[in-house]
Structure 1
Amino acid sequence: MRIRVSDHETTVTVRGTRGPAVLLVHSLGLDRRMWDPVLDRLAEGRRVFAYDVRGHGSAADAPLPFTMAATAADLVAVLDALELDAAHVAGLSLGGAIAQTAAVAAPGRFASLTLMAAPDRPVPVAFEERARLAETGGMTPLIAPTLARWFTPEALEAETEGVRYARECVASFDPAAWASIWRGYAGLDVYERLRDFPAPALALAGDADASIPVEGMAAIAARIGGGGAKFEVVPGAPHIQTLERPEAVTDALGRFLPAEIDIP
């Protein structure tokens, strides 16, 4: 469905007709299709929604500059447009950073929080370098290093469907938008601010993640809520977990997220 979100429109993919609401937030450079490999199984007993973050996919024409505050407000606006008082929110990488920013601002809208390969602190020097590379050389020089951060060497060599989709997304990205998003990402400000988060939380790390190691995700999990978030490692998963290990990711999410179960 197409919805209005503050200063732009976006598209929401919907799966499931009953059960708890789950909102999925994708990573930088991709779009809501990143979640396609997990949607059908995740929607068993749940209503699942995946939307395009501003600057991406069907929301590529959203006004710049990109800021974390604006994307957090967008997340809440998506909940409003879907008439959801609260949802189980899961975000991967930038999507997890957006979810954390929204959770700091509006914790009551979260039935739970799931972070997948998502930082709670930016890396300003690296983020600025990626912004400048796009501005000076366009997207072509960024394709190979980006895919190397996102996928395992085996997936890259096999040229999987997920790799082809991601390459297409990065190659077609607007360089000015890419630069603005990375600079906005550098404004992430959630470190130590979710100590009092009141809802359940889960952190998923991939043991083949070249961007955020298992130890880093474990430390992030420990900083969420009074007792820390539940923590799991997805075997063999790289940074973009859903495109290379969708079954294991769905299993982990299914163990954590409630569902409406048919009782004979």
Structure 2
Amino acid sequence: MRIHASDHETTVTARGTHGPAVLLVHSLGLDRRMWDPVLDRLATGRRVFAYDVRGHGSAAGAPLPFTMAAAGADLVAVLDALELGIAHVAGLSLGGAIAQTAAVAAPGRFASLTLLGAPDRPVPAAFEERARIAETAGMEPLVGPTLERWFTAAALEADTEGVRYARDCVTSFDPVTWASIWRGYGGLDVYQRLRGFPAPALALAGEADASITIDGMAAIAARIGGGAKLEVVPGAPHIQTLERPDEVADALDRFLPAEIDIP
């Protein structure tokens, strides 16, 4: 479905007809299809929604510059458009950073927060370098290094469906928008601001994540406090859903409440 989010329109994929609401936020450079491998599993006893973040997919025409504040406000606007007063929110990488930004601004809209390989502070030098390369040389030199950060060597060698989808997304990404998103990402400002978060929280670390280590995700869970949980997804790289979807779905299924169907 098409919905209005702040200053632009985006598209939402919906699965499930009853139960708690779950909102999924994708990583930088991909789109809502990143969640396709886990949607049907999560939709058993839940209503699950995945949307395109501004600058991505169907929301590629959203106004620039990209800022974390705007992306966080978009998440709340999506909840409003879907008439969801509260939802379980899960975000991967940039999606988790956006979810944290929204959680700082509007904690009452969160039934829970799940972070998959998501930072709580930026790496300004690396982010600026990725922006600069796109501006000066286009997307081609970014494709290989990006996929190497996102996937295991085995998946890249096999050229899996997930790898091909991600390659297509990055190759076709608008360089100006890419640069703006990375610079906006550098404005992430949630470090130590979620301590005392009132809802349950889960940090999902990929065992093979080259971008954010298990120790890094454990530290984020500790900074949230309040009993925030840490789980490790066996064998998972940074883009967990495209290489280890069953394991990710298992972890989310254990954490997220569901409405039990009674025959």
Shorter chain as denominator, the TM-score bin is over 0.9
Q: Secondary structure at the match of 2:29?
A: coil
Q: Go from structure 1 to structure 2 and tell me whether the alpha carbon gap of 1:225 and 1:85 turns closer, same or farther (over 3 Å shift).
A: farther
Deviation of 1:252 (Å)? 0.1
C-alpha contact 1:206 1:235 (8 A) present in aligned 2: yes
* TM-score normalised according to structure 1 size: 0.99
CA distance in 2 between partners of 1:6 and 1:104 (Å): 18
Q: Secondary structure at the match of 2:113?
A: strand
Are 2:45 and 1:40 equivalent residues in the alignment?
A: no
Are 2:255 and 1:256 equivalent residues in the alignment?
A: yes
CA distance in 2 between partners of 1:226 and 1:146 (Å): 34
Deviation of 1:226 (Å)? 2.7
Deviation of 1:262 (Å)? 1.5
- Which residue of the partner structure matches residue 67 of structure 1? 67
- Which residue of the partner structure matches residue 87 of structure 2? 87
CA distance in 1 between partners of 2:203 and 2:174 (Å): 31
- Which residue of the partner structure matches residue 27 of structure 2? 27
Aligned residues: 263
CA distance in 1 between partners of 2:91 and 2:11 (Å): 17
C-alpha contact 1:198 1:225 (8 A) present in aligned 2: no
- Note the 1:124-163 alignment, pairs <5 A: 124-163=124-163
Q: Which runs of 5+ in 1 are unaligned?
A: none
Q: Secondary structure at the match of 2:182?
A: helix
CA distance in 2 between partners of 1:217 and 1:8 (Å): 32
Q: Secondary structure at the match of 2:217?
A: helix
Identity %: 86
Deviation of 1:6 (Å)? 1.4
CA distance in 2 between partners of 1:156 and 1:44 (Å): 31
Q: Secondary structure at the match of 1:223?
A: helix
Q: Which runs of 5+ in 2 are unaligned?
A: none
- Which residue of the partner structure matches residue 242 of structure 2? 243
CA distance in 2 between partners of 1:49 and 1:222 (Å): 28
- Note the 1:214-229 alignment, pairs <5 A: 214-227=214-227, 229=228
**Which letter maps to 1:29?**
G
CA distance in 2 between partners of 1:104 and 1:71 (Å): 13
**Which letter maps to 1:70?**
A
- Which residue of the partner structure matches residue 173 of structure 1? 173
Q: Provide the alpha-carbon RMSD of the alignment.
A: 0.6
Q: Secondary structure at the match of 1:113?
A: strand
